[in-house]
Each structure stands twice: as C-alpha cells, then as structure tokens.
Chain A
Amino acid sequence: MASYDTSDIRKGLKIMMDGAPYTVVEFQFVKPGKGAAFTRTKIKNLLTGAVLERNFRSGEKFEPANVEVKTMQYLYKEGDSFVFMDTSDYNQVALPSETVGESSNFMPENLNVEVLFYNERAVGVTLPNFIELPIVETDPGFRGDTATGTTKPARIGTGATVNVPLFINVGDVVKIDTRTGEYLERVGRA
C-alpha cells in the first residue's frame, strides 16, 4: 500500500499510528518562528475512541490503516450477538455485545448503522447522531407542571432509559442524541 504524507491529511483520513488505526478529526497548518511547516492534527483511535494531538512535520509519512466503514442494517439480537446485514450484498455478520457496546441502547431493529472493519474484522458500530423512537413506558406527568423543569425516566423499545420532560406520554415519539443519550425534542404525539 502506498503511504500518505502530510499533504494528504484531511478529515476522515484513516492512518496507522503506534500500531493502532486512527482517523483524522481536525487538522491545522502551523508554521512557528522562521521554522518549517507542521500540520497540527487531532486523531481519534478507532479501537478505543481516545483522541490524541500530534504535530507532524511537513513531508512526514504515514501508513494508511486497513479500515473500512460499511453501512449495515441491524436485524436482530441472537443470544449474546447482534446480527447485521450488508444492504448491498445481503451478507450477514454477527457482532458480540462487547463490540457493539453502549450503541445497543439506541439501536432499534432495522436501523442502518455504520460498522467499522479493521483488518477485515468488525470492531465497532457507529449510530446515526440522532434517532427518533417511541416511548414504551413512563409514568404520566402532572398536567401544568412545566414550570418546574424536572424530568422523569422513560423507556424506549431497546430497553434503554432516557430522561424526558414531564409532558411526554407513552407512545410519543422523541428525538434522542445517540452520542449523549439525551432527549432533544418530541417529534410525534401518541
């Protein structure tokens, strides 16, 4: 595989660093004093999620990471595995629950997600940033109690709990930020 150098750096570029695959999150051209140009780069470890900052000298080379992102549809859970299907070729792949991790909280059946493959092995799942799901269980809020601003727990179909405003009822469809697990707004009434 040909190697990259600093002029190839762009958001989303997948490179190997210290033996792990990283993706470029942010980068900036810097040129200190009367010195050489560097590219100040923020990179995210695709396996651990850890974010690092590195300053690469102009012309420094790196190896591309053998990483592929495929859009797949979550089908169902079977025992301790989650089964996904590649929508382009109908191939199915089963991921153990540790690989899926907390993403399972906001992953209803038939959701399209991004599955990350590193060296041909599935290593992680990325959900869409926002998801809209109906509430399946919650206590009724007290009418007129909107001034207090408190929230109540509500359960969604995946089994996860989200804190929602008191006016949300069972059957209401809510929009959730999957990255934080937070309620954003109501998008449909029961």
Chain B
Amino acid sequence: MRAWFDGQGFLEVETPSRVRAPGQEVHLDAIAAPDGDDRRFLVTSPEYHMKRLCGAGFERLYQLGRAFRAGERGAHHQPEFTMLEWYRAGHELEAVARDCEAILAVAARAVGRPPPAAPFERTTVRALLRKHTGVELRGDETVEELRALAAGAGVAAGATAWDDVFFQMFLDRVEPHLGTTGPVFVFDWPAPLGALARRREDDPRVVERFELYAGGLELVNAFGELIDPVEQRRRFEEETEVRRARGKVTYPVDENLLEALGRMPPTCGAAMGFDRLVMLTLGAKDIRDVVAFADDEV
C-alpha cells in the first residue's frame, strides 16, 4: 500500500493523536485524553492536521494512522481503528475515485486475488433513492417535506432531524443493496450531509462527496474539500449548536485549521477504513476477525 502511494508521489505523514479540537460532527464523539488541566481528545480522524499540512504547501499526502470514536462497536466498528487518509491538491474528485480503484487492486493482488473490475459502478444518492424508494430527492427539502417523502415511501420516520430522517430511509431501503454486486461509488450527497465538502457549482443542493461501498461495507468517504474558512466556521458553529441542543459535549473550534483553509488550494481528500479494506479483501464478516485485539479483548 505504501509502495503504491509513494510511487504516486504522495508523502507519508504522521499527525498528532491527542488534540484540542477533535471533529465537530454531530454524530461523532471523541474520547477524552486529558493531561491534568489540559483538555485534550483523541482524534476522530487525522483530517484537521493533514489539512493544515495541505495549507503549508504539501500537494499529495497520505497517512495510515489510528482514529478513535467513542461508543462505536459492532460488526464493522471498533472504538479504535486504522484510517487510511489521503489528500490531493486539485479540483477533480474523480481522481480520488481512481485512487480507490487502484487501492482495492493493490489489496487484492497482495493476497493473490484478481482485482475488482475497474472502473467501478458509479451512481448518485438521488438515483439510489429513486430506485429503491421511488422518492425524488432535491436536497433542499425541509425536514417536514423529507418526512412526508419518507412516509410516502413507507418508511416510518419518527426523527426530527434532517439527517436522521434521511438515514432511516437510506438504511431501511437502500443500504442493504449497496456494494453487494461489486464496489459502487455513490456521488452527490445532499448538502445537509456534507459538512466539510464544497457545494457543486452546477447544483448547490448537493456537495462534492462520494462514498465507496463494497462487499456490504462502507469503505471510503471522500470530499471535494471546503476551503472557504468563513463558510467552514459557520458550519462548525451550526454543528456545535446541534451538539449542545442534544446534550452532547462540545469542542473548541480549530482556529489553526480555519487559518490553514485560507491558504489551501482546491483539494480533494478521502478517508478509508483500513480494517474494513482488510475485511473486504479477505472476505471477513466481522472487524474482530481482522484486528489483533478487539476492544473487549484489551
């Protein structure tokens, strides 16, 4: 894997695990790692520091490091896992998709298996919803409109938040079919679901983001990164408010990141669950089968 990245001109970096400002996402909770009065947390992903390096002029970076997320345990989740994260300067999210195809091929060859046929299938969130629920999603619906759409498709959505309603539909009807017949890229996510991605110029209701699903696993989350620090600060503040309203711990805004965003060229980045890549390559059904010690075996 490293050989492939190095050959493509990527620089391998290591960024801190113990930070002051872990991600602001509403649904990700960081594990606290204080040192006396110094309020620190384990990173939920290496994103912020890697973006700071992008802002310092590095054009192609990758990292194979640990990420930590409180309370995430299941067949595909462990609170501590390995994240393969990479960034490329440039506009084209499609280049990152091609990286993914190459990475899956590298993994397959490493165990003597044929690579999955490239190019992989590409689809959009709208197309999937249309196909599996009949719902036509614009991306700028209000929560009430979205719930009505879900109800019309037979999905009971008792949730009050936009993303919760969306995911109830997605999980009930779409996700069971994803990546079961080969890897598939899902592009064009509605804006409410793409906090760190830039909006598409030709359709601002969706953002430049794709998810790669393969073998029933959600493998990669990739963005055309938002590099507008003003817009990013606004989104951070919104997410912090939602966290506060839900009684969740809030984190400081990463001023260093916002400052670096102002210096970053257009960039695309991706985060891949490396343990899940191993699962996919070996045909494992549970993440516990590919880690040396699962969380409860520590």
Q: Which residues of A contact B (CB under 8 A)?
A: 28-38, 40, 55, 57, 60
Q: Is the CB of A36 within 8 A of B27?
A: yes
When the two chains form their complex, are residues B168 and A31 in contact, meaning their CB atoms are under 8 A apart? no
Is there a chain A Cβ closer than 8 Å to B98's Cβ? no
> A41 to chain B: closest CB distance in Å?
12
A33, B75: Cα distance in complex, Å: 16
Identity of the chain B residue whose Cβ is nearest the Cβ of A60 in the assembled complex: B158
Q: Are A32 and B218 in contact (CB under 8 A)?
A: yes
CA of A32 to CA of B72 in the docked complex: distance in angstroms? Answer: 12
| B74 adjacent to A34 (CB under 8 Å) | no
What is B's interface to A at a CB cutoff of 8 Å? 25-28, 71-77, 158-159, 161, 163-164, 166-168, 170-172, 175, 189, 193, 195, 211, 218, 221
Q: Can you name the residue of chain B whose Cβ is closest to the Cβ of A35?
A: B167
* CB–CB B25/A37 < 8 A: no
B11–chain A nearest beta-carbon distance, Å: 27
Q: Which residue from chain B places its CB closest to the CB of A61 in the assembled complex?
A: B158
Instruction: Judge whether B74 and A28 touch: CB under 8 Å.
Output: yes
Closest to B125 in A: A33
With a 10 A CB-CB cut-off, give which of A31, A34, A37, A38 has the most chain B CB atoms: A34
CB within 8 Å for A31 and B77 given contacts A37-B72, A38-B167? yes
B221 and A29 within 8 A (CB): no
State in angstroms the CA–CA spacing of A17 and B237 once bound together. 38
Cβ-closest chain B residue relative to A29 = B74
Question: Contacts A36-B163, A38-B167, A57-B164 given: A31-B158 contact, CB under 8 Å?
Answer: no
**Contacting pair B27 A35 (CB below 8 A):** yes
- Chain A residues near B74: list those with CB within 8 A: 28-31
Contact with A29, one of B72, B159, B161, B175 (Cβ below 8 angstroms): B72
Given B77, B168, B195, which contacts A34 in the complex, CB threshold below 8 Å? Answer: B195
Cβ of B208 to closest chain A Cβ, rounded Å: 15
- Of the candidates B71, B77, B221, which one forms a contact with A33 in the assembled complex, judged by CB atoms under 8 Å apart? B221
The interface residues of chain A lying within 8 Å CB-to-CB of B218 are: 32-33
**Contacts A55-B168, A57-B168, A60-B158: A35 and B77 contacting too (C-beta < 8 A)?**
no
On whether the beta carbons of A30 and B171 are closer than 8 Å, the reply is yes
Query: Which of B25, B73, B170 is within 8 Å of A32, CB to CB?
Result: B170
Residues of A within 8 A of B211 (CB): 33
Bound-complex Cα distance A10 to B171 (A): 20
Q: A30-B175, A33-B218 are in contact. List 10 more A-B contacts (CB 8 A).
A: A29-B72, A31-B27, A35-B27, A37-B27, A37-B71, A37-B72, A38-B167, A38-B168, A57-B158, A57-B164
Asked if A34 and B159 sit within 8 Å, CB to CB, the answer is: no
Closest Cβ of chain B to A27, distance in Å, is 9
Q: List 26 A-B contacts (CB under 8 A).
A: A28-B75, A29-B72, A29-B73, A29-B74, A31-B72, A31-B74, A32-B167, A32-B171, A32-B175, A33-B170, A34-B193, A34-B195, A34-B221, A35-B27, A35-B164, A35-B170, A36-B26, A36-B27, A36-B167, A37-B72, A38-B167, A40-B171, A55-B168, A57-B164, A57-B168, A60-B158
Q: How far is the CB of B41 from chain A (nearest CB, A)?
A: 18
A57, B171: Cα distance in complex, Å: 10
